[in-house]
């Protein structure tokens, strides 16, 4: 499944002008350049956090499978969907 034009082993880099604040049930990303903010649910926040620890989307998926006891296909779909949204809004780059 290749919903964003990259395979799951793709690498992504956070936009340095984006700051993240965690909340009880997720988080908020604020792009300091555009002044737009984006709301993440708990899983989205965890994916954002894992981008600091993991070099590839495949590693993020592996971590989600272990942490949330979800199947790999569902985790992969969630990661790809979020990466597509983040990239489209300039919050990450590939």
Strand 37-41 vs strand 13-14: parallel, antiparallel, or unpaired?
unpaired
pLDDT in tens, 33-42: 999 999 999 9
- Report the CATH number of the 16-93 domain: 1.10.10.1150
Q: Angle at Cα 79 formed by Cα 78 and Cα 82, nearest 5°?
A: 85
36 three-state secondary structure: coil
pLDDT in tens, 43-85: 999 999 999 988 899 999 999 999 998 999 999 999 999 999 9
Closest listed residue to residue 12, CA positions, set 77, 68, 85: 85
Phi, psi of 56 (to 5 degrees): -135, 165
Q: What is the pLDDT of residue 54?
A: 85
First to last CA, the chain: 17
């Amino acid at each position: 499944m290749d919903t964003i034009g990259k395979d799951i082993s793709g690498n992504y880099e956070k936009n340095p002008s984006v700051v993240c604040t965690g909340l009880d049930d997720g988080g908020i990303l604020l792009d300091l350049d555009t002044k737009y903010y984006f709301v993440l649910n708990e899983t989205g926040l965890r994916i954002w956090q894992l981008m600091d620890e993991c070099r590839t989307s495949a590693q993020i998926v592996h971590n989600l499978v272990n942490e949330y006891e979800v199947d790999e296909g569902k985790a992969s779909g969630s990661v790809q969907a979020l990466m597509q949204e983040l990239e489209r809004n300039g919050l990450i780059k590939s």
